[in-house]
Structure 1
């Protein structure tokens, strides 16, 4: 029987394509009272309004300051210390909607990042005659650069940098330090237009116990968090304009994430039978939000596996079962153990609920076969495929996003920043 395809489909559907928040469990299903067509119009209009709020992102001064700083570093033939470069790269990464980075790898170098920071600590100003940075104030806790961008005073400062040595130092020529805290800001005139904050804790095996990263970017903000225990791993990220969510996502995995259990599962030799018997993952919650539209769900993976085992033990699924029997059983199990919703985030009302089904496909030779797929079911009982749901509900929104991205690329891809030496 083709279990691999089905298990993969379940994992993809439950963990990646749809999403969940545990606080919604048991809250019941309250569908929006709006007619289906009005729901679609509301989804699209709110999505377009969200994109239009991002018009400010076409003219952010923060990136002019950062680009101006790196331009001066090039003139001075200097290299920003790793803590400074890391902070500024994190701010610039918001432009590319990146989330939490691999921090362990970020501070690996032949020289300790902490020693590098201490050696360069101080307040610097750009000297136009020397074409170089000059120390104007001694310090042991900050690295601050002051210069002019388009005739305005600008400042980039990095401070409160603390690390701990990683427990595992595998390469004698490299040093691995794990960041505990790091702060930075970008000023234009007397105003802090962007700030960056990182706080982290680490387990004894160098895996992150918790990471919180907060970036304020003029009227935008980006927050990402990660927590990790032996029973739960969770991460979330949100991008906001003032207090309005533009984009957000997150996940939580519950189970036994001890090294021993994971190692035993990976070392199993029973193929998919071992995967069904694994005890690492029990529940997966993932969510995605765009404006006021939130896609969420929950996958009870442990319940699914137990349900599958019960059908095998009861003889309902046996060697005489047909491929159709297997497919029908999988539809039943997934619909029982995977909850899939599209909601209005502010009211938590359901727009549509996911329903698993079998879609008949045609191969290149004219033959037919079925693949797992989802229908979106509205409160009035009407159903559409996921493709129809996106095309009918978000066509104009997608066009608006594409237009915005094109304008963003034009704003940041062609303009030159004018850097005036002090």
Structure 2
């Protein structure tokens, strides 16, 4: 009886430890940024041609782009999805650009100070990871073409985050003059680097669901512990344990047999591919001959008949030439091999490549060793290996 209870207690102890470890991992994995301060630095592009809302991409004649950092912004974003931001920008209307439907004869300065409120569309769409789209409205003051005006603003944009702190910001703002007596409407595009600090994180919706599931599992675990503690039927528990061990042994044997059968089939399939031979290239060439394409057509036929395999192409050169050149050449050979297979309808996700230059010769024809051309040719090859099955 004591042995049975000891084994049960040990099992439960290990199970609970694994459960808590999984909970910590899930909370960490499924956490998202909820609120933060943000500063940004970047460039702005102004289209004030007078017909910017009809010809959005009249870049050559209408877009004014400063060739240096010309925009700075500071903002605060809340876990409700609402953010507030202040932006300062500077630009120059270049001579010969169209501004207010007139071609400028001289450069004219532009500056603007804007305030806006924005909303994170992830709150509606659901968490999209590194992609952070938003829309917003605001107001500001702009001095453009020597004309000052207050503006009503609307913005649409997105940020892409590479970490919890660093990302890129892309947005476009429409600016409508509050008074149209001496000023026109215009568009301002912006792109820049964003840095966020005082970041507060919480669980995503998926993380909250997982946490709730884990809590439910803990409750179930407690019920199981209570049930086992009350159990006093040693023979029944021993019989159940032996039955589980038997089932586990049978399952392991079945899994091993399945794995062995798959490995055998994989080996046969690899041997079938090996029997096709390699693609051999001419000296200093990465082009495929008709014979090479016929071989690759056979490889494509195998991949079509075996839709679950993934192939890796390994390309090589002979030892003649510099290491750097041979590495480049082997990369071109690998790429041309893969491109041909993909051109025959095979998904690019099912065939990858690696280039080894002259580092994996199949014979003694290394640098400084004289070899006949037919020996060198054995090294100028593309080989094929199954990497997923």
TM-score of the aligned structures, taking structure 2 as reference length: 0.19
**Structure having the higher Rg:** 2
